Amino acid sequence: MNESILALREELAQAQRICVMTGAGISAESGIPTFRGSSGLWRNHNPAELATREAFTRNPALVWEFYNWRRTLIAAARPNPGHEALARLEARTPQTTLMTQNVDGLHRLAGNTSVLQLHGNIWETRCTGCGRVQEQRTPDLGSNPRCEKCGAALRPNVVWFGESLNEELLGKAFAAASTCEIMLTIGTSAVVQPAASLAGTAKRAGAVVAEINLERTPNSLFMDYVILGKAGEILPQLVP
Ligand code: BJW
Ligand code: ZN
């Protein structure tokens, strides 16, 4: 085991208040594609460009095709050793705040009980007319799902670019980042705000900050630890 993994493992074992921020990279080893990078291409579309209001307004059927495809992949996906290590971390350190940009629900499936899903939940729909939110487990909802109550178009209950994150969740995330002793950021390119800035908040408040990713990110510059590798291989070493 390399020295920085050993040192960070010790710090984690001593800490009482821990924050964890995850992104698409933690679910990559469960077979769920990430948004950016060479593998982030879907039928010649950039996934990050489909996750917008403009795309939905222009072509809701295309956006639903994209989300139905992801829902089908996610329905078959299982938590990997990275998710499982974070569930162990919460079990042994109860003041662990897990915040995720992922909408796949794999952290809860792995056993984390409190997860701040900052970008929403792909298993929910929201009515563009009456606002009703509903859990819908059927993976493929077709190209034009409609509200049973008011007949308006349904959309995925996720946060697209230009939309505000849930204020209450975001408040909890910033409060936890401001008061934790250690913050881990895992498998995120750290380019999407405001999620990307939580690590900086923790650092400025005096926390030890650590990044686990295949490659460096804009946040690497101020990290105390940058551990390059797969989350599913590094996290089980950090939380044995
Ligand atoms: C591994 C691995 C392995 C791979 N192990 N690692 C200019 C400056 C600052 C901000 C802005 C700006 N212009 C606009 C903004 C705001 C905008 C923003 O941040 N834009 C930037 C891109 C410039 N943000 C917003 O609009 C947010 N809202 C907001 O700010 O509201 C206020 C406001 C209101 C009105 C007007 C303006 C502002 C909302 C952001 C919502 C993001 N939504 C999405 C879709 C969610 C639904 C869905 O899932 O479909 O969220 S986009 C997409 O990106 C998704 C992700 O959660 C998010 C982050 O991606 P993530 O998780 O980091 O994935 P990748 O693919 O980018 O990276 C994966 C990483 O994993 C890579 O680094 C790999 O190396 C690594 N990896 N395998 C470890 N095995
Ligand atoms: Zn409705």
Q: What is the pLDDT along the chain (240 residues), one digit of tens a residue?
A: 799 999 999 999 999 999 999 999 999 999 999 998 777 778 888 888 899 999 999 999 999 999 999 999 999 999 999 999 999 999 999 999 999 999 999 999 999 999 999 999 999 999 999 999 999 999 999 999 999 999 999 999 999 999 999 999 999 999 999 999 999 999 999 999 999 999 999 999 999 999 999 999 999 999 999 999 999 999 999 999
Name which of 212, 205, 150, 209 is nearest 179 in CA terms: 205
Measured from the Cα of 188, ligand 1's closest atom is: 63
**Contact, 198 vs 188, CB < 8 A?**
no
Distances from the Cα of 135 to the Cαs of 74, 85, 103, 121, in angstroms?
Answer: 15, 27, 13, 9
Residues whose CB is less than 8 angstroms from the CB of residue 47 and which lie 6 or more positions away in sequence, other chains included: 33, 35, 40, 41, 66
Predicted model pTM = 0.97
Region class of 44: left (phi > 0), else alpha (psi between -120 and 50), else beta: left
Nearest protein Cα to ligand 1, atom 11: 193
Q: Distance between CA atoms of 185 and 198, rounded to whole angstroms?
A: 9
Residue 83 falls in the annotated catalytic set: no
